[in-house]
């Protein structure tokens, strides 16, 4: 078997409307209008795709309700974060900072990973998200060691 690419991500969310707003209106995902709620899936859910239209869907949100167990803090087994590429320049990262500020989304961290410049945020349910741009001119394919370069503070 050979994995060709990461296909999609499915997240359980407490409030579908709140999460749909975050992923659609703040992060810019395209919501797919595939059916009336409950018509195809037997539970409240929303499908999204990146504006690039790379594949049929990349994100599925499934509502589990306000009483769902929260993500535990600290060291644990499970997802740490997922990364979303938002461009190839620091200007695109600066624009993201403004969008996040306009929507009262706090930035939890910012890192220079040599191959990427990254911001870290959380969605409404506490899932950590890395928003990153690939750094122009960094040839990590010829020098894979750059991927594991020491992390530095991000200076924009």
57, part of any domain: yes
Q: What tokens does 49 get?
A: 């795709």
pLDDT tens by residue, 38-90 = 566 778 899 999 988 888 889 999 999 999 999 998 899 999 999 999 999 99
Residues making up the chain, counted from first to last: 156
Residue linked to tokens 């994100």: 59
Range of the domain at 127: 82-153
Predicted pLDDT of residue 37? 57
Q: Note whether 97 and 139 are same-domain residues.
A: yes
Predicted pLDDT of residue 86? 96
Which contacts qualify for 110-113: CB closer than 8 Å, 24 or more apart? 110/153, 110/154, 110/156, 111/151, 111/152, 111/153, 111/154, 112/151, 112/152, 112/153, 112/154, 112/155, 113/149, 113/151
Q: In the chain, how many domains are there?
A: 2
Sign of CA dihedral 92, 98, 102, 106: positive
93, part of any domain: yes
37, part of any domain: yes
Q: Note whether 31 and 86 are same-domain residues.
A: no
Residue range 32-42: mean pLDDT, rounded: 69
Q: Note whether 98 and 146 are same-domain residues.
A: yes
Q: What tokens does 33 get?
A: 């209008």
Residue after which a domain boundary falls, among 34, 63, 92:
63
Which residue intervals of the chain are DSSP H helices? 16-21, 90-102
pTM for this prediction: 0.92
Q: Look up the CATH number of the domain holding residue 140.
A: 3.10.180.10
Predicted pLDDT of residue 35? 61
73, part of any domain: no
Predicted pLDDT of residue 60? 94
1, part of any domain: no
pLDDT tens by residue, 88-128 = 999 999 999 999 999 999 999 999 999 999 999 999 999 99
């Amino acid at each position: 078997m050979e994995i060709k690419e990461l296909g999609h991500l499915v997240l359980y969310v407490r409030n579908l409307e709140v999460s749909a707003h975050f992923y659609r209106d703040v992060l810019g995902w395209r919501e797919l209008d595939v059916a009336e709620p409950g018509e195809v899936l037997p539970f409240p859910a929303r499908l999204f795709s990146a504006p690039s239209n790379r594949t049929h869907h990349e994100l599925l949100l499934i509502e589990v309700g306000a009483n769902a167990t929260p993500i535990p803090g600290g060291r644990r087994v499970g997802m740490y974060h997922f990364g979303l590429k938002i461009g190839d320049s620091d200007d695109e990262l600066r624009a993201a900072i403004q969008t996040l500020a306009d929507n009262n989304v706090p930035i939890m961290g910012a890192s220079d990973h040599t191959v990427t410049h990254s911001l870290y945020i959380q969605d409404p349910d506490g899932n950590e998200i890395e928003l990153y741009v690939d750094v122009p001119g960094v040839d990590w394919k010829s020098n894979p060691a750059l991927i594991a370069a020491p992390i530095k503070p991000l200076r924009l």
